[in-house]
Amino acid sequence: MTDKILEIENITVSFDGFKALNNLNFNMDAGELRVIIGPNGAGKTTFLDIITGKVQPTQGRVLFQGRNLRRIPEYKIARLGIGRKFQTPRVYLNLTVRENLDLVCNRNKNVLSTLFSRPSSSDRRNVAGLLETIGLVAKADLQANLLSHGEKQRLEIGMLVAQSPDLLLVDEPVAGLTDEETENVGELLLALAESHSIIVIEHDMEFVRQIARKVTVLHEGSVLCEGSIEEVQNNPRVIEVYLGQ
């Protein structure tokens, strides 16, 4: 068994000759919360795409818990325990908060039976725990379209966690949120980091400071540097890349 949740070795992704990722190497221990930053076009989205199997690398390999993900389809990679949260919340707007969570807690059951039958007591316990974690107990019976953008983000994070992933990939969770909502999402991610490995892609440096322990900077498809937020911010190469934008 490896204590590395993720090992990415010499990954290159070429789109018609253009290298979106260029010989990228990246390692992450189980239990880490890692923040990935980098200017536009640095390769951050493609980096998530090669982990989830959305994009196949031209070269190199991705190991998840020691297992090579090569040619494993996206839906199977999700079942292996990798959950991805996209930038815009993908929740069922005409269902209540609780029904959204019920749906994923009952994932392997028939969708109709989930909606029309009473959830089992263990499912009810799971959903109650999740509502608590995401801070939406008081809004459990509200239709999701009535939630604020930040609450929708937290609901979707809850829906991902309901699927018990070992690794959570979270793409810009606070874009467009108020300061207070941003802080709430940060607290949620920090709480989840107690029991999950998490990668967050983020632009908002204030938010990065709130949650980051270790930061990886991507630039032109490779890792430019890694370290604490202070180390990264004081790195002359990072300053140059950001000032050059």
The phi and psi torsions of 78 (rounded to 5 degrees) equal: -60, -40
* Nearest distance from C-beta of residue 198 to ligand ADP, angstroms: 18
What single letter denotes the amino acid at residue 69?
L
By CB under 6 A, residue 45 contacts ligand ADP: yes
By CB under 6 A, residue 57 contacts ligand ADP: no
Closer to ligand ADP by Cβ: residue 11 or 101: 11
By CB under 6 A, residue 165 contacts ligand ADP: no
**Which conformational region is residue 84 in: left (phi greater than 0), alpha (psi within -120 to 50 degrees), or beta?**
beta
Closer to ligand ADP by Cβ: residue 10 or 117: 10
By CB under 6 A, residue 94 contacts ligand ADP: no
Q: How many residues bind ligand ADP (CB under 6 A)?
A: 11
Tokens at 122, concatenated: 């263990």
Tokens at 184, concatenated: 């709430």
> DSSP secondary-structure letter at 151?
H
**Neighbouring C-beta atoms of residue 188, cutoff 10 Å:** 21
By CB under 6 A, residue 186 contacts ligand ADP: no
By CB under 6 A, residue 41 contacts ligand ADP: yes
Residue for token pair 């263990």: 122
By CB under 6 A, residue 60 contacts ligand ADP: no
By CB under 6 A, residue 20 contacts ligand ADP: yes
By CB under 6 A, residue 219 contacts ligand ADP: no
R_g over Cα of the chain: 19
By CB under 6 A, residue 38 contacts ligand ADP: yes
CB 105 within 8 A of CB 54: no
Q: Contact positions toward ligand ADP, by CB under 6 A? A: 15, 18, 20, 38, 40-46
